[in-house]
Amino acid sequence: MISNDEILTLLEEKGYKSYLVGGCLRDSLLNKESHDVDISTQALPEEILEVFKDYKTVDIGKKFGTIKVIYYDFEYEITTMRKESSYKDKRHPDKVDFTKDILEDLKRRDFTINAMAKRKGKIIDPFDGKSDLKTKTIRAVGDPVARINEDLLRSLRAVRFATSLDFQIEENLKKAIKNKASSINEISKERIREEINKILLSNKPSRGIRLLDELGLLEFIFPEVFRTKGFNQHSTFHKDDVYNHSLNVLDKTKANLNIRMAALYHDVGKIDTFFLDENGEGRFFGHQKVSENSLRERLKILKYSNKFIEDTTILVRRHMDNTNTYTKKSVRKLLRNLGEENLLNLFDLQKADVLSTTFSDASNIDLGLKILEEVKNDEIPKNRSEIAINGKDLILLGYKEGVELGNKLKEIENLIYDEKLKNNKDDIIKYIKENR
């Protein structure tokens, strides 16, 4: 891997002052590993391309001054220094004015902790970013109202940095975010989605959700979750309202986006299915289906992929399966219908859910995991393609294509899955002939 110093040297040798900036510098000062390297340079885009003509480069925003340099599997984003400008669409500046002054470049950035630069061992820190790192503060560069009005995504970035770094958002910045919260959906759903993903994958995602709520953003991004605040479940299994229960579940799941999104939404349907039984106990029959539908629609709005939507909503739909004791038959069926990865994700969600109730007994999920290892290693087919007979074989035995043939195949599959018939072609044919 080419080092940061080598990249900077290649630019400096051509006479272009160049600086490490942004997240990589912030993370190094926090003694954290950084996966992104941003460099700000006096070189114009065409000059950057010339310096790195022997390397793989990608134009990811040449008109805004950004060229990506790829060396093996490592990426460096190199951007020509820019002056502050107004923003036409709450994302892109009206015009791009390049500069050779690093101070001009830094003052257009979002937060002080991202507005530092380093060149030849010296750190340029005009907005006291180092001080804010020490006090764990997310503070806007200059006027917070102007920074948020320029790009509304900065509202979510502030939440994301506060969550991932365990920092506090400075009060004036909080006010600026709150004042524009109702406009958050004016920016692209893809940009919202990417910030939400990072918040959900942080070490304590519930803090990010609570910050979204505190800043007035939650009701516009996840309105179904917002509705659950204060909703009393009237249940001996739950001491928390639906909102706080869901956030407890969220924190107990592993850092997997499918599971965490499912955790956030798994109980939102309780509001619309709630009733009190004769003993005054809260009941929520069918809430998992309502929750699934709500999540599906929300993920579509946020433009998640179809695969992500299917793999996530199925976790919500099946999250109550553990109310029945797991058996080989039920685990085998789940494995066939969900696949191993989704089934493991389901078990993780179920365990977090159970451990967030007064019941707090995950022994059935542990049983399911044990059975899963057993059925993975036995000789029983895991899916239809492993069945030793197919439709063509049945046609040769005199069955015609249609409902009868399909029903017979299903009957055979179920017998094999239930270990009542061996998955052996001769045995299957014998069974068919004896049971026509």
Give 211's contacts (C-beta < 8 A, 6+ positions apart). Answer: 159, 162, 163, 169
Same domain for 308 and 333? yes
Same domain for 404 and 361? no
Q: Which two tokens stand for residue 311?
A: 């793999």
Same domain for 167 and 248? no
pLDDT at 297: 98
Q: Which residues constitute the domain of residue 161?
A: 142-221
Residue 399's CATH number: 1.10.246
Q: What is the pLDDT along the chain (436 residues), one digit of tens a residue?
A: 567 888 999 999 999 999 999 999 999 999 998 878 999 999 999 999 999 999 999 998 888 899 999 987 789 999 999 986 655 555 556 678 999 999 999 999 999 999 999 999 999 999 999 999 999 999 999 999 999 999 999 999 999 999 999 999 999 999 999 999 999 999 999 999 999 999 999 999 999 999 999 999 999 999 999 999 999 999 999 999 999 999 999 999 999 999 999 999 999 999 999 999 999 999 999 999 999 999 999 999 999 999 999 999 999 999 999 999 999 999 999 999 999 999 999 999 999 999 999 989 999 999 999 999 999 999 899 888 899 999 999 999 999 999 999 999 999 999 998 889 999 999 999 999 998 7
Same domain for 23 and 52? yes
Same domain for 77 and 167? no
Same domain for 351 and 240? yes
Residue that is last in its domain, among 135, 161, 190: 135
Residue that is last in its domain, among 176, 201, 221: 221
Q: What is the tally of structural domains in the chain?
A: 4
pLDDT at 85: 63
Same domain for 232 and 368? yes
pLDDT at 379: 86
Q: Give strand pairing partners of 19.
A: 40
Residue that is last in its domain, among 135, 165, 186: 135
Same domain for 20 and 118? yes
Same domain for 244 and 368? yes
Same domain for 357 and 266? yes
Same domain for 390 and 357? no
Q: Give strand pairing partners of 169.
A: 138
Residue 97's CATH number: 3.30.460.10
Dist CA 17 CA 42 (whole Å): 6
pLDDT at 147: 97
Residue 159's CATH number: 1.10.110.30
Same domain for 129 and 101? yes
